Amino acid sequence: MALYNYILLAVSVILIVFTVRSVMRRKNKKARFERAVHGIAITVGVFLISAVVLFPNLNSIPVTGDNPYASCVLELTDTSRMEEYGNDGGPRKLSVLVYYPTNNAVPRSSCPLVVFSHGGISTKTSNLSLYKELASHGYVVVGIDHTYHALRTKIDGKKIPIDPGYMKELTGEDSYRDIENSFACFQKWMKLRTDDISFVIDCFIEKASSDSPSFYSLIDKNRIGVAGHSLGGSAALGVARQREDFNAVMALESPFMCDITGVDTDRFTWNTDPYPCAVLNIYSDSGYSLIGSDNKYVQNKNYLYNGENVRFTYIQGSNHYTLTDLVRTSPILCALLGGRYEKNGYETLEIINRKSLAFFDEYLK
């Protein structure tokens, strides 16, 4: 756990012990106000302990690269698109998290750019361990908060939560009960996210082409990759179909939603053209078990056996959320949301880092 968690835990225990002992000593003399104060103190102590247990914020995975790195948060405005959610009537705005090497020996225009899209209910910080690992090996990594799809984000100093309508769509979607609705949802979600990803890529390419002295100057605009988890991975795979200016896409347990072209009775129809770039899909027990049994994963099954430039890794003993840093920040929540997992969360993240780095090094360096 982080140091501040240990401090909170110690303070909470001391607070509860002190309060309980005080109650026992003055059991017959306490006034109503004193009882209320002690009750509040105990409640606060229990709450703090629960928070520490639920969100221990375990240490990060050690990086294996030689480069020191830094990070920053940027806000980008896409003036070509109006915001579909909310009621501000303005252009779409995104918050992005950038990790980049700070080694002065790294030459200009030498760092591949990797843009990451988070899962259905997540944030741009979902895979910090991977961002840091890639940055330590000379990559510039950009994690996107898909505004109103992100669990929470901040734009212009204003906190923006996930859109309730989108949440209702996401939790209510069932391709076996209403396949037409699922297809409509997939089209809507993928359009928003692929447009976001392409916009971010274009912004960074433009900055890399300028004389900016910042980390933008490190970016090699001819070596671009995309990645994502779950719904974000589906969008990353979709962008790979739309653009010709990058070489590799890595998806953490993602169906090929953008390859769905329509509905035929109770089945999806698919774009079966060869994939235009190298693909790595990493599966946990959660997703691997769906290949061959879930109608959203038909294309995953096709590529499993006839992949050509599409490959996969299966991390046995993991679940859908152990593929993200949630397994580090809240192992209990990770198990509650994704079910039981046997492989140590740190080991899973290390495997993802190792496999992703090798993949991107092969196609982007």
E strands along the chain, which residues?
69-82, 91-101, 111-117, 140-145, 152-155, 158-161, 219-229, 248-252, 260-264, 267-270, 278-283, 310-314
Give mean pLDDT, residues 164-187: 96
Q: How far is it, in rounded angstroms, from Cα 276 to Cα 292?
A: 24
Q: What is the CATH number of domain 69-364?
A: 3.40.50.1820
**CA 356 to centroid of chain Cα atoms:** 15
Positive or negative: CA dihedral 189, 195, 199, 205: positive
Instruction: Give φ, ψ of 328 to 5 degrees.
Output: -90, -40
The helix or strand, by DSSP H or E, that contains position 40, with its residue range, turns out to be helix 32-54
Q: How far is it, in rounded angstroms, from Cα 321 to Cα 289?
A: 15
Give mean pLDDT, residues 334-350: 91
Lowest mean pLDDT, pick from 43-47, 182-186, 284-288, 347-351 = 43-47
Q: How far is it, in rounded angstroms, from Cα 298 to Cα 290?
A: 9
* Greater pLDDT, 211 or 349: 349
Q: How far is it, in rounded angstroms, from Cα 13 to Cα 181?
A: 51
Positive or negative: CA dihedral 210, 214, 220, 221: negative
Alpha carbon separation from 292 to 231, 257, 270, 296, 339 (Å, rounded): 19, 15, 15, 9, 21
CB 250, CB 236: distance < 8 Å: yes
pLDDT of residue 331: 86
CB 257, CB 238: distance < 8 Å: yes
Long-range own/partner contacts, residues 159-166 (CB < 8 A, 24 or more apart): 160/86, 162/121, 163/85, 163/86, 165/85, 166/85
Note the pTM of the prediction, 2 decimals: 0.86
Token pair listed for 168: 């209702």
**CA 258 to centroid of chain Cα atoms:** 19
pLDDT of residue 36: 54
* Angle, helices 179-209/164-172, rounded to nearest 10 degrees: 130
Q: With DSSP H G I counted as helix, E B as strand and the rest as coil, what are the percentages for the chain, rounded to 5? A: 45, 25, 30
Positive or negative: CA dihedral 192, 194, 199, 204: positive
Lowest mean pLDDT, pick from 35-44, 85-94, 214-223 = 35-44
pLDDT over 60 (residue 50): no
Token pair listed for 53: 């247990």
pLDDT over 90 (residue 333): no
Cα-based angle 281, 285, 287 (whole degrees, multiple of 5) = 50
pLDDT of residue 186: 98
* Percentage above 90 pLDDT, the chain: 71
Alpha carbon separation from 197 to 235, 271, 275 (Å, rounded): 8, 21, 18
Q: How far is it, in rounded angstroms, from Cα 203 to Cα 222?
A: 14
pLDDT over 90 (residue 263): yes
Beta-strand pair 310-314/278-283? parallel
The helix or strand, by DSSP H or E, that contains position 277, with its residue range, turns out to be none
Domain ranges of the chain: 3-54, 69-364
